[in-house]
Amino acid sequence: EIVLTQSPGTLSLSPGERATLSCRASQSVASSFLAWYQQKPGQAPRLLIYGASSRAPDIPDRFSGSGSGTDFTLTISRLEPEDFAVYYCQQYGTSPRLTFGGGTKVEIK
């Protein structure tokens, strides 16, 4: 099973700042089959990025994904108030068996 480790656990930033979230896999993720989700309290996760760098429909371009192999990054170029949430990475290189990271909380500083 591929284990995904996200860091940091919590990121304290101000609106307008840049957020850089990391997701490291215990082994190489096939074909960059990595997705990122945003989850707000009381809501289901929402797909942001798939294929490591492709934005899902209706996702603002301030969200970008990069990386390959075992190291992946989600960047939010300028934080908007609605971006404060928990972010999860998920690999699907071993689909249908999927694994998720433990999440990074982006909180208001």
Partner 1 sequence: EVQLLESGGTLAQPGASLRLSCEVSGYTLRDYAMAWVRQTPGRGLEWVSAISGSGGTTHYADSVQGRFTISRDNSKNTLYLHMSSLRVEDTAIYYCGKTINWGYLVSWGQGTLVTVSS
Which residues bind to partner 1, rule: CB under 8 A?
33, 35, 37, 43-47, 50, 56, 88, 90, 92, 95-103
| Residue number with CB closer to partner 1 (72 or 79) | 72
**Strand 34-39 relative to strand 99-100, pairing:** unpaired
| Residue number with CB closer to partner 1 (17 or 100) | 100
| Residue number with CB closer to partner 1 (19 or 101) | 101
* Residue 8 CB partners (closer than 8 Å, separation 6+): 22, 104
| C-alpha torsion angle, residues 41, 11, 58, 68 (rounded to 10) | -120
**Residue 14 beta carbon to partner 1: minimum distance, rounded to whole angstroms:** 27
